[in-house]
Structure 1
Amino acid sequence: MSSLADLVPEEYPWACPRVAGVLRAGRFVPHPDPVREVPPGGRAVLAVGSNASPTVLATKLPRASAIPLLPAELHEVAIGHSAHVSRRGYLAAAPYACRGARTPVVLTWLSADDLAALDATEPNYERITLADLGGSVTLALGRSEMPDPREVDLYSSRHGLISHLHSPEQHNSDHRDRDVEHDGHGPDGAPGAHPLPLMPQGELFALLAGHGELAALLGGSPAQVCARLAGDPAAREHVRRILSRGACDPRAGGASEA
């Protein structure tokens, strides 16, 4: 299996398993029915971003004995980008309520110890239940059961979602006359805001670089942008504060355009 260093930040989100399997001793092995490998008392956790990568999970949870991973489909919840910058310089994924959405994800099951360890790696997210977003999930492998949304967790951004208000035209018109700047500690719930969908880092940087305040920091190739932000904590904080203006509450909801 590749190492975390092989996962370059500009290519986030990284490849996730297309088949069911089990992560054991740092290696992902296909398994016809990984649900049989669920640890006693294991908690179902949806992975919508980097945690769907076996390489990332193996790095975050080196002591895990076995982690089942199963492709699944999320209903009434879509994926966008958290309104903060990761330490490696990319803009990470985050879920939000979205009527009519159907989203491919990876479902894992973690022991209590592994779940606590994973929580410790997610300071920018809070773990909530799928029911909190009004969603549901169906499993792959032709399984008919639908897990109780109250018994399935996922990580929701503490910063809100990057919204369409961060596009150059919308942001310049909607925020020009604001007298008070949002303090940047969470979504400000701007009326009419809706999240931008998950997209490749290069596309997202190019879109956001059209915003005058972000042009200098997000201009250039995706690799250059990630390296610039990864090497400058103050720049990451500056971008986060700008993105927090107009950020969407993940529970506020929207409607799928599909």
Structure 2
Amino acid sequence: MFLSKLQVNVASRAFRTDYANIHDLHRTVMSAFPDLPKNTPARQEHGVLWRLDASPSGYTLYIQSQIHPDWATLPEGYLRDRAYVRCLQPVLAAIQPGRRFAFRIMANPTQAISPGDKPPAPRRPSKRVALHRPDDQINWLLRQGERHGFTIPHTGDHGPDIAPSPSPQLTGYKTATNARSGRHKITISPVRYDGHLIVTDPNALAAAVQHGIGRAKAYGCGLLSLAPPQTAP
């Protein structure tokens, strides 16, 4: 697996267009990977996950993939520095039982509801809604940890070592496959999580790193980044 780090040029007209339409940004990311036969899900086949991180100096795109990308496909002036690509195998090898990591993930925490805010009835379509309360967002990630091989340590009286940060809403339009359906609007309410985790199931966590967590993976959500812990346990 590979992880690309791209320092984006915020003055680029192409990037500003992508930033205004999350589906365009998805297509720009995917342009670095080979085309596949029609009806083959390219993002899944190439294992592509990505995240756009904001900082005081601008934006950085992190893209994870199963194959080495070709960033020469980007529009001229899209980056303010050369693309940096590294192998992720050392990170995967470091996922061992009891190991502690710092982590970051941009996720799309949602829940399914039915009319009247009751559990979905059998054969009754449910609706997914974003979770906006910090406690609900934290509990969502704790549940993901149970499924994906990690637990979140507590920090004394301050609760789980997670800091959820609401991010700007992601919007865009995708042309429907059925021409009569017109364009489909995309609206995502992402949350950036920073904190620490402890490995409970190495295989499950490695799979989560490779395949992502949660929904909206095509649109900048789900990429779980691991790093050495920032403070002593």
**Category of TM-score, reference length = shorter chain:** under 0.3
Give the TM-score of the pair, scaled to structure 1.
0.26
Higher relative contact order (CA 8 A, sep 6+): 2
TM-score (norm 2): 0.27
